[in-house]
Each structure stands twice: as structure tokens, then as C-alpha cells.
Amino acid sequence: MVNIDTVYQRVLALANKEQRGYITPQEFNLFANQAQMDIFEQYFYDLNQFLRVPGNNTMYADPVDILEEKIEIFHQGQTFGDGTSNVFDTNDLSFDLYRLKQVRFNNTAATPPIGVKVEKTTHDKFMLSINAPLTSPTLMRPAYYLRGDSIVVAPTSVTSIDVNYIKKPVKVEWSGYSLSGSELYDSTNSVDFELHPSEETKLVIKILSLSGITLKDSSLYQIAGAEDNKNIQQEKQ
């Protein structure tokens, strides 16, 4: 977590230093949410780039570990099913679902019961497979496809599933109250960033950039890099 007031105060101080005026809480909240989402989505782009490089398990092991640690914060799991249907409504996930990771099914018919991964497929392939005896999904080889906000699974005897997914970062908000003409921080009604603590300086830089402020002093960029390097070294210990 990154404290939202700490970021806001740093942004205000740097905006003042650059003689760019005051950034209102409303403007800050808008830029803060965009900055958090930009940094969050960059994790997946960077991770994909590292994993595509041959021999990444040695050369890029540390950056990959750090990225996976930062993404781990957003991993969630939920069970769906009422024991009567093979169609699972995930509408309550739609507000914070970023990426579906894995669907699993607890096959209690097996001895002993075993957790089975449900393979994702397309609607067309799903329909072809359930009508073909040799490829039809079974309790040991179940399959699913996405239909709007629903997960449809075959065989129909699968009536409960465990869904692992990556959620979106929570919407942040700096909330304040007026006292004697000043806007003071309201910690009770504010919402912090969900990003890893090492992202604080990156957030400051990104928010300033979104507000149209380009820093003349490069030291802040160096600090952002140093925070990531410090995190890598701590992971090694």
C-alpha cells in the first residue's frame, strides 16, 4: 500500500517548486487513479517482455520475481455454484475483474477427491467438443468458455467451480475537509493506493506528468529507480 496523502503532498510540493500552481483534490484523484492503472498495466507488459526472452530464468530472474511479487497483491479467489447448474454468473466480479487466471473444479467423484483444472476454450470449440464422443469434456477433462459475465462449463455435472483471478486496483481517493479556510486530510474517508510501497515515487512522477508537469530535476527519476533496486536487493536476502 502507498499512502495517498504522502503522494499528494509530494505532488503539491513539486508542483509548487516548478511554479505550476495548485492541483485540486479533484484533479489529483483523477490523475492518481489513471497513474495507478498505468503502472499496474505496465507490470503485465514488462513481465511478458521478460518471459519472452530466451534464458530469462537467469538474466532477468530478479526483475521477474519483483514483478510477480507486485502482481501477487491483486490475486483473488472465489467459489461459484449452487450445486444445480453448470452456468456460473460472475457478474459480481465484473466491477473489479482485470484478468481471469484459472478455473478449477473439485472432482469429488474421484477417489480420493482431486482438484482439476478446467480448460478454457472458445464457444465454437466448446460446442463441437460436447457433441463429439471422443473429445467431449469429462470430469477429469472439463472445459469452459466465457459467455458475457457467465462461465459455462462442461460436463453439466460440474456445478461448483473455484475461480482464481487478478483484480483491478481499488479506486483511490484523497478526501479532505475544510477548517479555517484550509483543506485538511481526512484519513477515514480516503482510500490509499494498492500498489507496492516501492511505487510511491513512480506515482508522484506519473501524476505530475498527467497534470502536464515535466520535472527539470532528474533526481526524482533516479530515486524511483533506486527504490526498485532496493526492493530487488531485499528480495535476495
C-alpha 228/C-alpha 63 separation (Å) is 9
Residue 198 above 80 pLDDT?
yes
Indicate whether 80 and 145 sit together in one domain.
yes
Indicate whether 67 and 83 sit together in one domain.
no
Determine the distance from the C-alpha atom of residue 43 to the mean position of all C-alpha atoms in its chain, rounded to a whole number: 9
Whether 176 is covered by a domain: the verdict is no
Indicate whether 79 and 111 sit together in one domain.
yes
Would you say the pTM of this structure is higher than 0.85? no
Which of 165, 83, 84, 174 has the alpha carbon at shortest distance from 120?
165
Q: How many domains does the chain have?
A: 2
Indicate whether 126 and 210 sit together in one domain.
no
Note the pLDDT of residue 232.
47
Under 8 Å between Cβ of 196 and 70: yes
Note the pLDDT of residue 237.
52
Owning domain of residue 98: 75-167
Indicate whether 205 and 226 sit together in one domain.
yes
C-alpha 9/C-alpha 67 separation (Å) is 27
- 182-191, 194-203, 209-218: range with lowest mean pLDDT: 209-218
Average pLDDT, the chain: 86
pLDDT per residue as tens digits for the range 44-59 = 999 888 887 766 555 5
C-alpha 207/C-alpha 44 separation (Å) is 20
Whether 180 is covered by a domain: the verdict is no
Average pLDDT over residues 207-224: 70
Whether 12 is covered by a domain: the verdict is yes
Whether 94 is covered by a domain: the verdict is yes
Determine the distance from the C-alpha atom of residue 226 to the mean position of all C-alpha atoms in its chain, rounded to a whole number: 23
Indicate whether 79 and 141 sit together in one domain.
yes
Indicate whether 161 and 81 sit together in one domain.
yes
